[in-house]
Amino acid sequence: MSSDKSRFKDRFMKKQEIRRRKKVREANSKRWQECRSDSFNSTRDQQNACASTKPACVGNRIVNIQALGKNLKCHSCKSTLSLENIVNETKKGLHSIFTVICQQCQVACRVDTGDNHAVNNEATVYLIDKIHNDLTTNVVLGMLHAGVGSTELNKILACLDIPTSSPRLLKKYEQEVGPAIEAAARRSCRKAASTERKLVLEQLDELVTAELRGSVVATRRPVHEHDCRNNFTGSAKAMEADAGAELITNSSILKEANLKVKMNKGRSKDLAKNVRCIPDHLYNKHDNCGTWCKNISDDKTGLYQPKFIIKSEELYCDLQNIFALYADNAFKYCISAYSQANEAFNHTVTSKFPKNESYNTSTSGDIRVASAVLTKNVGNAYLIEIKRDLGVPINNHLIDYCKKLDENSSKKSTKAQTKEQKRRRTQLVSEREKLRMTMERTEGVIYKSNITFEIQHTYENSNSNELVNKSALQEENSIIVIFDLETSGRGRNADILQLAAVANDNVFSVYIEPTQAINKSASEINGLQNIDGELYLRNKN
């Protein structure tokens, strides 16, 4: 190998060529660094220019007017600050911290848009921050009370041109508000349980206790110390039964109040008698029916019609055997209670815990159920108690709003229990039943269970010639009637002015008063005229 050659990038080249290529590469690298530096400086200058022209705070903010007015003072010279001199903004949820330059001494001052409070001891277990702002705490409390999440809140804030909050930050504040709501819910349940010792079960309208089952935990984050609410490992079908058994047998609130759930036997004999009458009622035999039967009710006499008529004797015997079994066990389910209060509470839970949202993967599900319990037992005024427990100032707007809602709810409940309202509800039910039966006479059955299965669809393929032959008339056994109509015109909305018919020696003719003007061409043919709303034939009435 020649001494003037060496290897460069796995190739044999002359040393002179290698030196030339290295110089070219160094020159290209230097040129690239210069271009990159110029581009970076140009971009930085543009950003600085935009930053100098763009205001530090844009859009709307939610502020506490009293706190903001108190903080708009310079720390050095005590002069009043102007919001036009904001140079920076730090956001913590809906709370903002402005950096304002004083016009007198040119000192940068911190201005908070609201007050802060210390986190209570119950919420510091899973929280790092010990100081929270009042505004974001109030917003999270309102979210739980209204039954919305961070997504719905941010939609509203974005439309109001207010900076949105991250779900992670709102979750931290929920961990502060949640324990206070659950503690208040437990206190209300204990109060209801103590009241249970003094009142009859039918007269108690408060919720004694509530139970929630959760079997799903969010797995997006690694396992760490958290407030886990996973207390069930079975199927979804067994959840309700397990929660019911827990409420009756293992409720800590009932045990503290020394209470037990008892089943009232009630009038099981009367119930068994009425159950045995059901097969007779279906077969239109109402001799043994009670007051529940519409056929013997005085206010609905003649309105009741059987939904269906059964005539099979074999089915009648089978029904008697089935309902006899239920009648023999009437004492097991003869409970003098109703589920209307439970359904009303379920509606309240649904308003705060929508089923289309997966809040049960965290503590949010239990917190929302506790909020529903407080709404049921205490009313909307529980918000004042929660804010007092959190150390957040209580405002007059909240007090007036809660008072107004509770008063309206109390008036509505009192009005619904009056005889006039009960009589009105019964009247409306009767009117709707009459209207339904009237409409079904002309339109058929409007709605009922399994309506599509009871409609008989029969399609017969028949020959059209056979139909014509069957409908042919026998002239020797038929009476031929010839009739004629005189109308006010040729349109579809024309009036019939004269109806005439001839059958053998019988002649029939009648004139009908017109309701509209008669067409001129029709009047020339039939000689009929409409003069001042009266019918004239050739100018004679």
Write down all domains in the chain, each with its CATH number in brackets: 5-39 (no CATH), 65-176 (no CATH), 245-415 (no CATH), 482-537 (3.30.420.10)
Question: What pLDDT sits at residue 261?
Answer: 47
The count of C-alpha atoms lying within 13 angstroms of the C-alpha of 254, restricted to the half-sphere facing its C-beta, is 15
Q: What is the pLDDT of residue 260?
A: 47
Bridge pairing between strands 95-101 and 108-112: antiparallel
Contact 284, 309 (CB under 8 A): yes
pLDDT surpassing 50 at residue 71: yes
Q: Is the pLDDT of residue 436 over 50?
A: yes
Question: What mean pLDDT is reported for the chain?
Answer: 77
How high is the pLDDT of residue 220? 47
12-14 and 5-7 beta bridge pairing: antiparallel
23 versus 302: which is more confidently predicted?
23
Q: Is the pLDDT of residue 460 over 60?
A: no
Convert the pLDDT of each residue in 172-219 to its tens digit: 888 888 888 888 888 888 887 777 666 644 454 555 555 555 544 454
Across the range 322-348, mean pLDDT stands at 77
Q: Say if residue 466's pLDDT is above 60.
A: no
**pLDDT at res. 457:** 52
CA-based R_g, the chain, Å: 43
| Strand-strand pairing, 534-537 and 528-531 | antiparallel
- State the residue for tokens 């760490």: 224
Of 360, 363, 380, 384, the residue nearest 372 (C-alpha) = 380
pLDDT tens digit sequence for 501-527: 998 888 888 888 888 888 888 888 888
Q: What is the pLDDT of residue 297?
A: 57
Residue 439: its pLDDT value, please? 84
Cα separation, 195 vs 144, whole angstroms:
28
pLDDT at 428: 93
Candidate from 70-84, 260-274, 395-409, 477-491 with smallest mean pLDDT: 260-274
Q: Which of 213, 165, 152, 173 is nearest to 62 (CA)?
A: 165
**Distance from C-alpha of 119 to C-alpha of 142, rounded to nearest angstrom:** 18
Query: How far is Cα of residue 285 from the mean position of the Cα atoms in its chain?
Result: 45
> For residue 275, what pLDDT is reported?
82
pLDDT for 149 equals 87
Q: Does residue 289 have a pLDDT over 70?
A: yes
Cβ–Cβ under 8 Å, residues 160 and 111: no
Residue identified by tokens 């290295």 is 22
β-sheet bridge partners, residue 228: none
Longest dimension (CA), the chain: 144
pLDDT of residue 369: 86
Asked whether residue 108 carries a pLDDT value surpassing 60, the answer given is: yes
Q: Give 53's DSSP letter.
A: H
The mean per-residue pLDDT over the stretch 120-129 comes to 64
**Mean pLDDT in residue range 58-82:** 88
Half-sphere exposure of 327 (CA within 13 A, CB side): 17
Neighbours of 520 (CB within 10 A): 9
Label residue 480 by pLDDT band (50, 70, 90): confident
Please give the helix or strand (H or E) that residue 248 lies within, else none.
helix 239-249
Residue 423, pLDDT score: 92
d(CA 502, CA 326): 70
Please name the amino acid found at residue 539: N
pLDDT of residue 300 exceeding 60, the answer is no
| 176-180, 201-205, 307-311, 349-353, range with the lowest pLDDT | 201-205
Residue 82 in 3-state DSSP? Answer: coil
SS3 103: coil
Structure-token pair, residue 514? 């017109």
What whole-number distance in Å separates Cα of residue 2 and Cα of residue 12? Answer: 10
Range of lowest pLDDT (185-194, 206-215, 323-332, 415-424) = 206-215
216-261 pLDDT tens trace: 445 444 555 556 666 666 666 666 667 666 666 666 555 554 544 4
Mean of pLDDT values over 1-10: 63
Number of other CB atoms surrounding residue 194 within 10 Å: 14
Q: Are 69 and 97 in contact (CB under 8 A)?
A: no
Which stretch, 136-145, 332-341, 453-462, has highest mean pLDDT? 136-145
